[in-house]
Amino acid sequence: MLAQKYFRKAGVAARLKKVEEETVPSWLWRSCPTRALVTLPESERYVSELSAKQVFDRLAGCWTYWGWKGGYFTSEDDARAFNDELRYMLAKQMVAPNSPQWSTPGCIGPTASTVPARATITWTGRPAN
């Protein structure tokens, strides 16, 4: 179901560059399309996500970026741990976002988004069925 419904099928720019932000660690920088994108044939400008790992990296990266920008982490190590644990929990189906969260976060690139943060993650302490 993940592949059929939530992989970004044609929304990831084929040529991306990192957007440097002085107050954000480099591994969390947003990505945006490069000018080279317009040199590609129109049918090749946007590509699909091909693996669950790409989806989990996009979601966890976006949520971690939002958390960093919102001041939720006391250190870069805390942000990394949050990112790693979210990716693990998504892969093990211990957490799952609501439907719009699968496709909206990370629209600008594979790691972060300029879409306003609206995600709420609740951990019940129990694995999902």
Q: How far is CA 33 from CA 16, 40, 110, 125, in A?
A: 4, 12, 11, 39
| pTM confidence score | 0.71
Segment 85-107 mean pLDDT: 76
- Residue carrying structure tokens 């211990």: 94
pLDDT given for residue 6 in this prediction: 53
CB count, 10 Å around CB of 79? 20
Q: Which two tokens mark 10?
A: 């044609």
Question: pLDDT digits over 3-55, tens only?
Answer: 455 555 556 777 888 889 999 999 998 888 888 888 888 888 887 777 888 88
Q: Where are the beta strands (DSSP E) in the chain?
A: 12-13, 16-19, 30-33, 46-47
What does the mean pLDDT of the chain come to?
75
Higher pLDDT, 112 or 38: 38
pLDDT at residue 99 tops 50: yes
